[in-house]
Chains A and B, each alone.
Chain A
Amino acid sequence: MITTDVLAPVVATVREIQQETQDTFTLTLETPEPFNFKPGQFNMLYIPGAGEAAVSISGDVTQPHELIHTIREVGNVTRGLVALKPGDQLGVRGPFGRPWPMDVVDGRDVLVIAGGIGLAPLRPAVLALSAKRAEIGRLTVIYGARSPEDMLYAREFLGWKDAFVARATVDTASPSWRGNMGVVTKLISPVDFDPTRVIAMICGPEIMMRFAIRSLSALGVEDDRIFLSMERNMKCAAGICGHCQYGNYFVCKDGPVFDYDQVRKLFGVKEV
C-alpha cells in the first residue's frame, strides 16, 4: 500500500516541446528524481487553470532523466499543454497502470499494431523490443495514420524500417505518396510472424483494434497473446474514483493494457 498522497502531483519542468504533426506534439520534461516507468504506463499531467489529463508515456525506459509524452490537442488540458514553453512548470502524477507484456516476449515474434495517436503508448515498447532483438524472434511494426502528414515520429520510423519490419499505411494522401493506403489490417501478414507463438500489441481507436483482432484471430493467434491498450475517462488513476470502470475492471489499475481474453466479452457490448 502506498501511503503518500497519490492524488497530489509533483512538479516537473518543460525541457523541450516539439511539434510532431499539425495537432500533435511531444513534450520532454525534467523531474526532480529520475522517472522510472514501464512501456505502456501513463501519467496524469496537471496544468494550473486547465486541469488534469491522463497521457501515456512515450519515452525510452533506459532514459529516466527525460520524461516524454506525445500529446494530441483535443481538449482544455491538452490545449494548455501545447501552450507550454521550455522552463515552464507543470504537475505530474505517475507512473500508473499495467504495462505491455515485456516479460513474455523472449524467444517469440512480436507484432506491434498502432493506429493514429496509438503509436504514442507503443513507442516505449518498440524501443525496448528493438534494444533486445537478439532475445526475441522477428519484430514487426504496423502503423496506420490519417495521412502522411499525420504520422508520428516520421524520421524515427525510417530508422525502424532499416532495423526491422516496419510498415505504414494512410487513409488519404497526395499523389506524391508512394506508400500504402487503406486500413491497417491490410498490412497484417503471416509472412512476418508465426501465428502460433506471436505476441501482438495493439493500440488505436476501438474500431481499428476490433478489426485487427479479427484478422489475428483468423490467422489463429490466440486471445491471450493479443494485448490491447484501452482508454476511459480517468480522474484519480489510482483505482478509487470509479470513472474508468470497464465492466469488472478499472482501466487505470487493471489496465490500460489487457489481453483480449480478459475483455472479449465486453468488447462486443455497447456503452460499457
Chain B
Amino acid sequence: MQVYRFEADALNALIATLRERGYKVIAPTPMDGAVVLGEITDAGQLPRGYCDEQEKGVYRLKKTDRDAFFDFNVGPRSPKRYLFPTNHVLWRSRQENGRLEIYSESDDEKPFAFLGIRPCEMKAVAVQDRVLSKGPFADRIYSNRRQKALFIPVDCTRAGKTCFCTSMGGGPEATEGYHLALTEVIDENRHFFLARPGEENSVNLLECMQAVPATAEEIKQGRDLIEKTAACMGREVNTAGVAEMLAEYRDHPHWEEIGKRCMNCTNCTMVCPTCFCFEVEDHNDLTGQNTERTRQWDSCFNLSFTYQHGGSVRHTNKARYRQWLTHKFSAWHDQFGESGCVGCGRCITWCPVGIDVTEEIQMFQEKTS
C-alpha cells in the first residue's frame, strides 16, 4: 500500500479530526514522572522532548535536546487499561418482595482512538483478542470497546534497555491490526511522519493532515530508523524450546531460587499488556436489596487467586512465580496458539527487586541444557 508523509505540526489536525469524529483520543503523555497513556485534546500534551531510561527496577524520565514527539519507549500503562477496564460494573441485581432481577450494565464509553501506542502494544491487543473475544465465550465489554477502537501506533525509532520485542515478534514496526501506522523522522532540517494506512477507509484520515505520497528517500529514512532500532534491543530471549522446557521442568530447583527474590507484589501482572486475569467483587447496599458486581484486574501472584474451600492451591512464592512465567511463555501456546509475551519489557522495569524474565529464562536454559 502507498506510504504517505505529513509534517509533524499536522498532528494537531489529526487529534482534532479524531475528536470531531467522536473518538476519545488516548495517547502517551507525561504525568507524575512517567510517560503514561491518558486522554489528550492537543498535541501539546504529547511527551515532546522527553525520553525515558529503563533498567531492571528503574524508570527515569528525562528532557532531551530533540523535538521528537515519540522518543521514549513504553510506560506502565497500556491499552488494556481502556479496552479491559479494572473497577468496572458488570451487572446489577435488585431483590424486592422475594423477586430477584439481574441486568447487565450498559457500557456507554465513547470509542477510543489510540494515538502513539507502540507496535508491542498493538501486538498485545491482538493477544488479548484471542483470550477475550475469540474464545468460546466473548467478554462483552472488551469486545464492544475493541470493535469500536481506532489504532494509530507509532513505530519505535529507539529501543529501551528492557525491550526485547524482536525476540517475541512484537516490534519495532507495527505489522497488524492498525488503521494508520506512523514512523517519526526527525533530523536537523526536517521533522515529519510517514504513514501506512492499514485499511482502505483509513486513507481518509490523511486528508486532514494534508499528507502526500512519500518519496523513496523519505521511506528509506524511516526504514533505516526501524532497522537501527531492531539492531539495538536492550535484551533478547532465545525462544526456541522455551515452551517445552518450562512445561517439563516444573520441579526445577531454580523456581525456589526465584521465589526467594520475588515479593509477589503483582507489579509485573498489572503492567503487563496481555495479563487478563480478573476478580469479581459484589457491592451490597445497606438494605441488602441492591448489589452491583464489579470486575477488578487480579493477579496470579495473589494468595487468594487459587483459594478453594479452606486453602490456596499455590501457597508458596515459587509456585506463583512459576505459574506466571510458565503461563506467559509455555501454557499460552497451548491455550491460544502463541506466546503471551510481546517483549515490551514492562515486567522487568517495574519489578521492585529487578527480576528479569529474559535472565531467568536464560538461567533455565543453562541449567537444563
Most chain B beta-carbon contacts within 10 A, residue among A2, A91, A235, A240: A240
A236 to B280, CA, bound (A): 9
Q: Is the CB of B103 within 8 A of A8?
A: yes
Q: CB-CB < 8 A to A75: which residues of B? A: 309
Q: Which residues of A contact B250 (CB under 8 A)?
A: 269, 272
Contact A242 B277 (CB under 8 A): yes
Taking a contact as CB atoms under 8 Å apart, the answer to whether B136 and A2 are in contact is yes
B100 touches A90 (CB 8 A): yes
Within the complex, the shortest CB–CB distance from B244 to chain A, in Å, comes to 11
Contact check, B102 vs A232: say whether CB atoms are below 8 A apart: no
Those of B296-317 within 8 Å (CB) of chain A:
298, 300, 305-310, 313-316
Closest residue on chain B to residue A90 by CB atoms: B100
Does any Cβ of B come within 8 Å of A83's Cβ?
Answer: no
With A241-B298, A248-B247 already in contact, the answer to whether A49 and B288 are too (CB < 8 A) is: yes
Task: Find out whether the CB atom of A8 lies under 8 angstroms from the CB atom of B137.
Answer: no
Q: A8-B102, A233-B307, A272-B313 are in contact. Are A247 and B331 (CB under 8 A)?
A: yes
Smallest Cβ-Cβ distance to B100: which chain A residue: A89
A241 x B277 contact (CB < 8 A): yes
**Contact in complex: A238, B99 (CB < 8 Å):** no
Dominant secondary structure at the A interface: loop
* B side interface size, CB within 8 A: 56
1-53 of chain A: CB within 8 A of chain B: 1-3, 5-11, 46, 48-49, 51-52
B307, A1: Cβ atoms closer than 8 Å: no
Residue of B99, B305, B330 touching A233 (CB-CB under 8 A) = B305
A232 near B98: Cβ-Cβ < 8 Å: no
CB contact list, B314-331 vs A, under 8 A: 314-316, 319, 323, 327, 330-331
On chain A, the residues within 8 Å of B276 by CB distance are 240, 242
Tell whether, in the assembled complex, residue A250 and residue B335 are in contact, meaning their CB atoms are under 8 Å apart.
yes
Nearest B residue to A12, CB-CB: B100
- Determine if A88 is an interface residue (Cβ-Cβ < 8 Å): yes
Q: A91-B102, A238-B137, A250-B335 are in contact. Are A243 and B298 (CB under 8 A)?
A: yes
Of B38-46, B88-96, B108-116, B188-196, the stretch lying at the interface with chain A is B88-96
- In the complex, A87→B100 CA distance in Å? 11
Does residue A271 face the partner (Cβ distance < 8 Å to B)? yes
Residues of B within 8 A of A46 (CB): 93, 102
In the complex with contacts A49-B282, A233-B313, A269-B250, A243-B102 CB distance below 8 A = no
CB neighbours of A241 from chain B (8 A): 277-280, 298
Contact, CB under 8 Å: A89 / B98: yes
Residues of A within 8 A of B32 (CB): none
Cα–Cα, bound, A90→B103 (Å): 13
Q: Which of B91, B138, B143, B331 contacts A245 (CB 8 A)?
A: B331
Residues of A within 8 A of B104 (CB): 5, 8
State whether A239 touches B330 (Cβ < 8 A): no
Q: Are A7 and B288 in contact (CB under 8 A)?
A: no
Q: With the chains together, A265 CA to B251 CA distance in Å? A: 11
A235–B278 CB distance below 8 A: yes
Closest B residue to A91 by beta carbon equals B102
Let me know if A7 and B90 touch, CB within 8 A: yes
Chain B residues contacting A10 (CB-CB under 8 Å) are 102
Residues from chain B with Cβ under 8 Å of A232 in the complex = 306, 308, 313
B66 within 8 A of A: no
Does any Cβ of B come within 8 Å of A74's Cβ?
A: yes
**Interface stretch (choices B18-26, B127-135, B228-236):** B127-135
Residue B284 is within 8 A (CB to CB) of chain A in the complex: yes
Enumerate A67-110 residues with CB–CB distance to B below 8 Å.
74-75, 87-91
Q: In the complex, what residues of A have CB within 8 A of residue B101's CB?
A: 11
Decide if A150 is an interface residue (CB 8 Å cutoff). Answer: no
- Given known contacts A48-B93, A235-B278, A242-B298, is B140 in contact with A5 (CB within 8 Å)? yes
In the complex, residue of chain B having the shortest beta-carbon distance to the beta carbon of A78: B309
B358 proximal to A (CB < 8 A)? no
Verify if A222 is at the interface (C-beta below 8 Å from B). no
A47 CB, nearest partner CB in chain B, Å? 10
**Contacts of A236 on B, CB cut-off 8 Å?**
278, 280
Complex CA–CA separation, A247 to B247 (angstroms):
8
Chain A residues, CB < 8 A from B310: 74
Question: Which partner residue on chain B sits nearest A243 by CB separation?
Answer: B305
The yes or no answer to B359 lying at the interface (CB within 8 A) is no
Query: Which residues of the partner chain B approach A91 to less than 8 Å between Cβ atoms?
Result: 93, 100, 102
B residues 329-359 near A (Cβ < 8 Å) are 330-331, 334-335
A248 touches B334 (CB 8 A): yes
Is B227 part of the contact surface with A, judged by Cβ < 8 Å? no
Interface contacts beyond A7-B293, A272-B314: sample of 14 additional A-B pairs, CB < 8 Å, sorted by A: A1-B133, A8-B103, A11-B102, A48-B100, A49-B288, A75-B309, A91-B93, A233-B307, A235-B278, A239-B136, A240-B131, A248-B330, A248-B331, A271-B314
- Please list 21 pairs of residues, one from A and one from B, whose beta carbons are closer than 8 Å in the complex, sorted by A's number: A1-B134, A6-B138, A6-B139, A6-B140, A8-B91, A9-B102, A48-B95, A48-B289, A49-B284, A232-B313, A239-B136, A240-B139, A240-B276, A241-B298, A242-B298, A243-B298, A248-B330, A250-B335, A269-B250, A271-B314, A272-B314
Residues of A that sit less than 8 Å from B by CB: 1-3, 5-11, 46, 48-49, 51-52, 74-75, 87-91, 231-233, 235-236, 238-243, 245, 247-250, 253, 265, 269-272
- Which 8 residue pairs are nearest across A and B when measured between Cβ atoms? A242-B277, A271-B319, A238-B137, A89-B100, A248-B334, A248-B331, A6-B137, A8-B91
